Amino acid sequence: MRSVKLPSGNEMPVLGLGTWRMGEDERERGREADALRYGLDLGFTLIDTAEMYGEGGAEEMVAEAIRGRRDQVTIVSKVYPYNASRRAAIEACARSLTRLNTDYIDVYLLHWPGSVPLEETFAVFQDLREAGKIRDFGVSNFDLDLMQEARQSDGGLTATNQIYYNLAQRNAEWALLPWMRKQRIPAMAYSPFDQGRMLGDPALVAVAERHGATAAQVALAWLLEQEAMVAIPKSSSQERVKENHGALDLALTDEDREALDAAFPPPSHAAPIEII
């Protein structure tokens, strides 16, 4: 598995296992944990989760999946904006650590912008880092103006910005991603299939057919060939995990890229990034 380097010098795999909308149903947790374990067996070493997912249920499910294999896994989790003040963030992190059954979180993110001053949030993130509770910290759903604000108080250590980015949602390409690359901050793309809406697009299907691949694999390959980019598709079944893993071996051609750009045009003007 290829990796990207974070500002701290730590590394993050380019393709991970997402857990959004997992851990919500006790009856499904065993199957979901099995899918993550299967991913670990295939070579996935990145799992993305959040205290919001299943109100902690996803973190508990991740703990079940990685039992006995913690040292093989990079865990990303996220804190609610209303838990991003000094005292609340310390308590929220402690709860996540308990649910994950671990002593540390590899990358701890502010889930989306909130009312707590970023300076306060980053100060407590740095305290958590110094205490060994987290190894890196970052943000999610931040557009360029907020990333620039964050840069003023992050000590140069913002590890990543997790954003809604895929072939159908490309506003980040206008200004946000170029700025992040200059700052050497990798991006994490969530919902890489646009919640499945793009997968029936004729151009995407045609590219997939040329390669003997699936539309989902092409969508992931398009992301993974970009500089400093990580993709975290939801992975709740072994079949989907195996399909996603296949994207690592798919190399797109110039003809493919031109066809995809024609079907999913890059932005022609500045516009806010989308958030879901």
Q: Given this model, what pLDDT does residue 5 score?
A: 97
Q: Which entry of 53, 108, 164, 190 is annotated as an active-site residue?
A: 53
Per residue in 38-89, pLDDT (tens digit) is 999 999 999 999 999 999 999 999 999 999 999 999 999 999 999 999 999 9
* Residue 80 a catalytic site member: no
Q: Given this model, what pLDDT does residue 235 score?
A: 86
Domain annotation for the chain: domains and CATH numbers: 3-198+222-250 (3.20.20.100)
Give the Å distances, CA to CA, from 69 to 81, 90, 101, 200, 252: 30, 25, 12, 37, 34
Per residue in 161-190, pLDDT (tens digit) is 999 999 999 999 999 999 999 999 999 999
Q: Given this model, what pLDDT does residue 40 score?
A: 97
The residue among 165, 117, 111 whose CA lies nearest residue 137 is: 111
Contacts of 233 (CB under 8 A, 6+ apart): 17, 18, 192, 193, 216, 220, 240, 244
Q: What percent of the chain has pLDDT over 70?
A: 100
DSSP 23-74: SS-GGGHHHHHHHHHHHHHHT--EEE--SSGGGGHHHHHHHHHTTT-GGG-E
Of 224 and 235, which is predicted with more confidence? 224
Name the token pair of 247.
């994207």
Residue 217 above 90 pLDDT? Answer: yes
Per residue in 235-248, pLDDT (tens digit) is 899 999 999 999 99
Average pLDDT, the chain: 97
The residue among 47, 1, 2, 12 whose CA lies nearest residue 186 is: 12
Residue 150 above 90 pLDDT? Answer: yes
* Residue 222: pLDDT band with limits 50, 70, 90: very high
* Residue 250: pLDDT band with limits 50, 70, 90: very high
pTM of the model: 0.97
Phi, psi of 183 (to 5 degrees): -85, 0
Residue 103 above 90 pLDDT? Answer: yes
Sign of the Cα pseudo-torsion (44, 239, 235, 212, in order): positive
Name the token pair of 96.
């996540």
